[in-house]
Structure 1
């Protein structure tokens, strides 16, 4: 079952409908309880945000974009930067975006916010 399928099923239940048949469920069914209806509608709204939010494609060559940095990778980044590598070369070497490299260098004090490296 996909998230879209789950959203559809929950939406039908929130309307008091049987997801298999589409028929109205009996009045004594718990889905007709106001608290259950609210809970189901909240779940549908939460899934709306998840299902409809398009995933941002990763930039070509930046397969590690968004992933956590290991201490070893941080050390390699800082050593290479200190040795003169520019942001573009570091981005390629670490399979990250230029913005990701710049942010990491800012975090470690190798760049200043008012003087970013654009090379």
Structure 2
């Protein structure tokens, strides 16, 4: 396994999604515990740096990339999604990557785990 694949798996786990099946983890899952989620995000950030995402690429990342989601931000995301706001606009509004928006919408049950990331 290469570092990029490991990063994708860890990031998906941190989003509360099983990277193999695409299923959202139940609320009582160990993977949903706040300490576990934080640890996975720390590991994800460390791997990003190892992949060369430090310095120049870090400046290009959205400001809130890798930050935990608040209940209020989840609510805002769902409302905007239900208003048919596109993924690029959602990413801009939340200062996150499109991949993070897609993973969060899966976790919140708004899109199917196997749905493609829309333009």
Return the TM-score normalized by structure 1.
0.51
1:102 aligned counterpart, secondary structure = helix
Q: Which runs of 5+ in 2 are unaligned?
A: 1-45
Report the CA distance shift for 1:59/1:87 in structure 2 as closer, same or farther (over 3 A): farther
Q: Match of 2:116?
A: 116
Q: Match of 2:105?
A: 105
Q: Match of 1:43?
A: none
The ranges of structure 1 where at least 4 consecutive aligned residues each deviate by more than 6 angstroms after the TM superposition are none
Contact 1:61 1:92 in 2 (8 A): no
Q: Match of 1:60?
A: 60
Looking at both structures, which has the greater relative contact order when contacts are Cα pairs under 8 Å and sequence separation is at least 6? 2
Larger Rg: 1
Q: Match of 1:76?
A: 76
What is the Cα deviation at residue 58 of structure 1? 3.1
Contact 1:62 1:95 in 2 (8 A): yes
Aligned residues: 70
Report the CA distance shift for 1:59/1:117 in structure 2 as closer, same or farther (over 3 A): farther
Deviation per CA, 1:50-79: give whole Å up to 9, x if none.
Answer: 9x9466233636110000011101100000
Contact 1:88 1:98 in 2 (8 A): yes
